[in-house]
Structure 1
Amino acid sequence: MGETRGIGRWAAVSSVALLTLLAVSAVHWPRPEPFANTTGEVLPATGVMVQVWLSTADRRLRLAQQPDVMAEERGADTGTADVVIDLAHTYQTMTGFGAALTDSSAWLIRNKMSALQRAALLHEMFGPPPGLDFNMLRITIGASDFSLQHYTLDDMPAGQTDPGLQHFNVAVAQRNVIPVLQDILAIHPGLRIIASPWSAPAWMKTSANLISGSLLEQYEPNYAAYLVHFLDAFKGYGIPIFALTLQNEPAFEPLTYPGMELTADARARIIGQYLGPALAARKPKTLILGWDHNWDAPNQPLSVLADPTANRYVAGIAWHCYAGDPSAQTTVHRAYPGKDAYLTECSGGDWPSAKNGELLLFARNILMMSIKNWARGAVYWNLVLDEDHGPHAGGCDQCKGVVTVDAQTGEISRNDEYYAFAHFSRFVLPGAVRVKSGNTQTGVHQVAFQNPDHGSVVLVAVNGNAKATRLSVEQGDVRFQYDLPANSVATFEWSPGAPDAPAPAASVAR
C-alpha cells in the first residue's frame, strides 16, 4: 500500500515536470467562484490568498498543493458561513506530531537502507516542509512486540535478582535505537521523546517471565529506580526524554510478547511514593504521563488522579486508540482541566476494515477527534516497517508503519497514514493553539488552529461524503469557499483576518 518510489529521488522534480503538474492541477481544480452573499451579490476580494493542499481516499491526490483561493470581503450576512472561526476563543496549545521508533523501525533504518536512503528518510520525516516536520517520537524501554528479541534492561538468569540494578545496561539500544535517535536529534534538536516500558525485568514479576504477570509490590521502588536509570543512561548519550509513562497498556497481559499488568493502585503508589519524587528536581524536566492505554476505560486514569499524592506528579494522560472513542479524553479533562492529553499510540494495518484505505479514518476519527477532545499531540505506532509487517516478535502481524521499506532495495512506500499526519504536522506548528471553528451541517468535519505569535490560521477539513461538497469559511474579515472532492482531506492556510470588534477574553471551555 502507499506510493512507492526511491527515497533518494523524492525532491528531484524537474522544472518542466513541475510546470506540467501545475497546469494539470489548474485544469482539474479551478479556483472556486467568488463568494456570493444571500442576495446573490458577488463580494470584492480582500487580497488575502488561501493556500490549499488536498488528498483523496482514492489516492489520486496525495497532499497535492492546489491553486490558491482569493478570499473575499465579508458582507452583511456575517456568521452564516459553514465554518466560522473565532481566534479569540482558544483551547489547548499543541505540542506536535510523530511516531514510534521501535526496535524494529530502528533496525530497518540501520540495516536495510543505504546511508543516503537513511539520511533522506530521516530528513523527510523530521525535517521542515516539504518534510513531515515530526517533532515527537515514542521509544520503548526494553522490548515490545516490534523488537527482534524479548529483553529488558536488567535481565538476570532464572532464580537470580538484581535489586541494586548492578546489571542494568542499554546494550541492545546501542545497536540501533540510540544511533538513529542521535541522527534524528541532529535534524530536529527540539524533538520531544516519550518513553514507555512494556515489562519490568522478569525477576520483579509474579510470573518470573517477561510474558504476562504483574509487578511484585516489594519491587515497586526498584522499578521506579529502573526507570530513572534509563533516563540517566539516555541522557549520557545526549538524548533527553520529554515524558515517561509507567507501563504500556497496563490493563493488558499479552501472551506472545512482553507485557505486564499494573493496577491503578500500584501506579498511584509508584508515582506518588517513588518515581514522582525522584523526577521532581531533575533538569531537564521529564514529565510523567498516566494510563497509556485505550479510550474505553477513563476510570483508570481518573482513579490515579484521585490520589492526591500521585496527582501532583502526573502532568497528563497518554491514550491509545484501539477501544472506546476520543470523548474519554474530554471526560478526564473536565474532571482535571490542568492535566494534558496525548495520543501516544495508534496503528494502521492491512486488516479487512482497511481495504478501502485509512486516510479518512486517521485524519478524521483519530487525529481530528483526539485533538478536538484536548490532545496536545498525536503519535502513530511504528515509524517504519517492512513489506511483511515486521520484523516483530509476537503481537500484531498486520500493522503498518508510517512508511513501508522494501527490505531488498531500501525504497519506501508512503502509506495513507503518512498523508493523514502530513495534513496536520506540516502546517500546525509547536505552540499553535486550537481555536473555535463550530460544527458544519454539510457532513464535513474540521478543526482550526492559529500558529504561534499571531501567525497563520490553519483549517483541516475532511469531507466524508460520497460527493463533492462546497464549504464556506469565515474568519475575521476573510471569507472564502471551496469545493471539496468526495472522500477527501484538505488543509487550508492563510494570514489571519482582522476581527470586526475587540476580541473577548480567550476561553478554555470546550
Structure 2
Amino acid sequence: IWIIRVSYSLVVCFVYIALSNSDVDVPCAARFGDSGYVCVCNATYCDTFTYPSRSTENFTHIFTSNHTPGYNFRWGPVQNASALPISVSDDVIKITINTSHTYQQLKGIGSSFTDSFCINLKNLSYSAAQNLLNSFFAPNGSEYKLARVPIAASDFCTRTYTYDDTPGDVTLEHFQLAEEDYEYKIPIISAAKEISRHSLYLVATPWTSPNWTKTNNNYPPGYLKQEYWTYWANYIIRFLEEYKKEGIDFWGFSVSNEPSNSIYMGLKYLINNIMFMPMDHRVFVKEHLGPLLRASPFNKTKIFTFEDSRKFLKYWIDRVMEDPDVATYIDGVSVHWYEDRETSPEILDEIVKTYNKFIIYTEACILFSMDPTKVVDLGSWTRGGLYAE
C-alpha cells in the first residue's frame, strides 16, 4: 500500500524564487487508481521534483495541482496590476500580499514513523523502500522536515505494548525499547536523517502508560494514578535517553495523545490512551514533568500540550495556562485535524495571541469512520484536498 505516491501534494503555493531545472526531473508515471491518477513509485522507477533555488529577483513560482497527473507550474516576474499592458477585470482573481504583516513561521510538513508505516516499508524490497523514503525526505522529493514518533505502541500497531510492563517497577529497572523500535523505527528514522538535507524535527508522543499504572489496569482509556505521575515523567525522559543512545534526538514531545478522547467519545474507540483532564495535566506538567525535564540533559526539548481536536482547544488551554508557572514549561500547542470544521480556525490565532505559544498540527488521518466503504482510495482528489487544507 506504500508503493504508489499520490500526485496532489501541492495545491497552490506562491514562492519568490527563480526558475527550476525541471528538465532533469524524472516525470510522473501516471496510473489511474481508484478515483484518480497516482504517480507510480516502485523498485525501478520513482518520479522526482527539483525545487528551484532562491533568487533576489522579483520572480514568483506558482504551483498548482488538479486531477490530471503530475505537477503543473509556471513562473514569471512579479508586476503590479497597474503596470500590466491589459486591464484587469473585476472577475479576475487578485491576490494581495502584505509583506509587513507576518504570522507564525512554517516549520515544515511531514508525517509519522508509526509501527504500521515502518513495518510496511520493511516489507518492500530494498530498492522500493529506498525510493519511497527518497520521495518523502530527499531534496528532489517532498522534503518532509517534521515527523511524529509514538512512544511505544499507538493505534497503528500490530500489538499493544509499553516499555515497562513489569508491575511495580517504579525505578524503571526493567524499562527497555521494543523490537518494533530496534527492527523498524530506529533504522528507518536513521535512514531518513541520512537522506534529508535538513534537520528532521522529531516529535515524540505517548499513547498510554503501562497497565499497572492506570485506574482500569488496561491499555484502553483509563486515568493515570497520581502515585505514578513522577514515574510517568521519568518514563518519558528515559525514552529520550534510549533514542539518544541510537543517535536520534527529539525536537519536542507531547504530554499525551488525545487525553480527552475517551471522555467525549464515550469509550466508542478503545485505543491505547491515558485520560487526562486539563487540571490534572496542569499539575502533572508543573510538579513532575516540567521540573524533571528541565533538570535533565534534555532541557532544550520542547513540551507540547493538548494533542487533541480543535473543538476542545480553548477549554483546555484556558485551564492549563491559568497557572503562570505551567506556562513557563509549555513551548507549543499540538492539535489534531478531526472535527476542525466544527470550530473556527480563529481560535488558533486567539491562542497564539493570548498565550504566545506556537501551534503545530501533529495528526491528520482519513479514518475508517469517514468512509467505511473505502479505507484506501488511490488518486482521491477529495482526500488530497482535505490533507492540503
- Give the TM-score range, shorter chain: 0.7 to 0.9
8 Å contact kept, 1:182–1:239:
yes
Find the counterpart in structure 2 of residue 99 from structure 1: 111
Residue in 2 aligned with 1:136? 146
Task: Flag the 1:99–1:314 CA change in 2: closer, same or farther, 3 A.
Answer: same
Structure 1 Cα separation of the partners of residues 129 and 370 of structure 2: 31
Answer yes or no: is 1:328 the counterpart of 2:322. no
1:397, 1:139 → 2: CA distance? 29
Q: Which residue of 1 aligns with 2:273?
A: 259
What is the DSSP-based 3-state SS (H/G/I as helix, E as strand, rest coil) of the residue aligned with 1:86?
A: coil
User: Would you identify which runs of 4 or more consecutive aligned residues in structure 1 move more than 4 Å?
Assistant: 349-353, 396-400, 413-423
Secondary structure of residue in 2 paired with 1:348: coil
Partner amino acid, structure 2, of 1:312: T
For residue 288 of structure 1, give the secondary structure of its aligned residue in structure 2.
Answer: strand
- The answer for the alignment partner of 1:225 in structure 2 is 234
Could you say what secondary structure the match of 2:228 adopts? Answer: helix
Q: Distance in 2 between matches of 1:197 and 1:184?
A: 22
Q: Does structure 2 conserve the Cα–Cα contact (< 8 Å) formed by 1:201 and 1:210? A: yes
Task: Give the superposition deviation at 1:145.
Answer: 1.2
Out of 45, 54, 58, the residue aligned to residue 9 of structure 1 is 45
Q: Where do residues 141-156 of structure 1 align in structure 2 (5 Å cutoff)? A: 141-156=151-166
Alignment match of 1:279 (pick from 266, 280, 293): 293
Secondary structure, counterpart of 2:120 in structure 1:
helix
Instruction: Say yes or no: does 1:316 pair with 2:332.
Output: yes
Residue 344 of structure 1 aligns to a residue whose secondary structure is strand
Over 3 Å counting, the alpha-carbon distance change for 1:285 and 1:397 in structure 2 is farther
Shift of 1:270: 1.5
2:132 alignment partner in structure 1: 121
Pairing 1:428-507 to 2, within 5 Å after superposition? none
Residue 307 (structure 1) shift: 1.6
Residue by residue over 1:88-129, the C-alpha shift from the partner in whole angstroms, topping out at 9 and shown as x without a partner, is 22111221110111110011111x211111111111101123
Paired with 1:329 and 1:346, the residues of 2 have a C-alpha distance of 17
Q: Is the 8 A contact 2:41 2:131 kept in 1?
A: no
SS at match of 2:161: coil
Partner SS, residue 51 of structure 1: strand
Matching residue of 1:164: 171
Residues 302 and 331, structure 2, Cα contact 8 Å, conserved in 1: yes
- CA 1:352–1:335 in structure 2 vs 1: closer, same or farther (change >3 Å)? closer
Instruction: Please give the residue correspondences for 1:48-59 in structure 2 after superposition, counting only pairs within 5 Å.
Output: 49-56=59-66, 59=67
Kindly indicate whether residue 279 of structure 2 is the aligned counterpart of residue 270 of structure 1: no
1:379-398 map, 5 Å: none
Structure 2: 5+ residue stretches without partners: 1-33, 50-56
- Check the 8 A contact 1:150/1:257 in 2, yes or no: no
**TM-score normalised by structure 2 residue count:** 0.76
1:165-190, Cα deviation, whole Å (9 max, x unpaired): 11111123112111111111111250
The one-letter amino acid of 1:9's match is: Y
Which protein, 1 or 2, shows the higher relative CO under an 8 Å CA cutoff with sep ≥ 6? 1
Q: Which amino acid aligns with 1:315?
A: D
Q: Aligned-pair distance for 1:260? A: 1.7
Match of 2:189 among 181, 194, 211: 181
Q: CA 1:181 to 1:417, structure 2 compared with 1: closer, same or farther past 3 Å?
A: farther
Q: Which residue matches 1:475?
A: none
Aligned to 2:218: 209
Matched residues in 1 for 2:79 and 2:350: separation? 39
Q: Structure 1 residues 4 and 83 mapped into 2: Cα distance closer, same or farther (>3 Å)? A: closer
1:275–1:168 CA distance, 2 compared to 1 (3 A): same
Question: What is the one-letter code of the residue matched to 2:40?
Answer: R
The match for 1:246 is: 255
Counterpart of 1:217, as a letter, is Q
Aligned to 1:386: none
Aligned to 2:103, the other structure's residue is in SS state strand
| Partner-residue secondary structure (3-state), 1:296 | helix
1:338-417, aligned counterparts within 5 Å?
Answer: 338-349=356-367
Shift of 1:76: 7.5
Counterpart-to-counterpart distance in 2, 1:70 and 1:422 = 30
CA contact (8 A) 2:39 2:47 kept: no
Specify the code of the residue in structure 1 equivalent to 2:95. Answer: V
Match of 1:85, SS state, is coil
Tell me, in whole angstroms, the C-alpha distance in 2 between the residues paired with 1:198 and 1:422.
23
Decide whether aligned partners of structure 1 residues 203 and 279 sit closer, same or farther in structure 2, where only a CA change above 3 A counts: same
Cα gap change, 1:106 to 1:76, in 2 (>3 Å): closer
Deviation of the 1:82 alpha carbon: 2.3
Q: Unpaired runs of 5+ in structure 1?
A: 14-46, 354-395, 405-412, 424-461, 463-510
Letter in 2 for 1:295: R
Shift of residue 415, structure 1, vs aligned partner: 6.2
Residue aligning to 2:11: none
Contact 1:132 1:422 in 2 (8 A): no
Q: Is the CA contact (8 Å cut-off) linking 1:104 and 1:146 kept in structure 2?
A: yes
Cα shift at 1:162 = 0.9
Give the whole-Å Cα distance in 2 for the aligned partners of 1:316 and 1:398: 35
Identity over aligned residues, as a percent?
Answer: 24
Backbone CA RMSD of aligned residues: 3.1
